[in-house]
Structure 1
Amino acid sequence: MLVTRNLLAHYRGSEIHNEVLHDDSLAFATDDKYPESDYAPVVATFDFD
């Protein structure tokens, strides 16, 4: 995540939701079992009040 200097003043925090991602072990090396994305969603919070 990139944030400009102007937005940095309003930044309040972020979360990375990786709890449902599978391991990168050999058993999960193909997309046959888990075809979804290997990337976790990132949620950033900003306060503009």
Structure 2
Amino acid sequence: TNLCLRACMTCCDRCKCVPPGTYGNREMCGKCYTDMRTHRNKHKCP
């Protein structure tokens, strides 16, 4: 859960947005949220 929380906080901080619901709905926060990737090219934001 620590990793998830860290990822959420990074996305929230950089994009100034938290999508509704518990998972998915990335597109609600726009390109900042959907385009952020990890080093392994996976979605950073849950």
**Of the two structures, which has the highest relative contact order with CA contacts closer than 8 Å and spacing of 6 or more?**
1
Higher strand share: 1
TM-score (norm. length: structure 2): 0.21
Rg larger in structure: 1
Higher helix share: 2
TM-score (norm. length: structure 1): 0.21
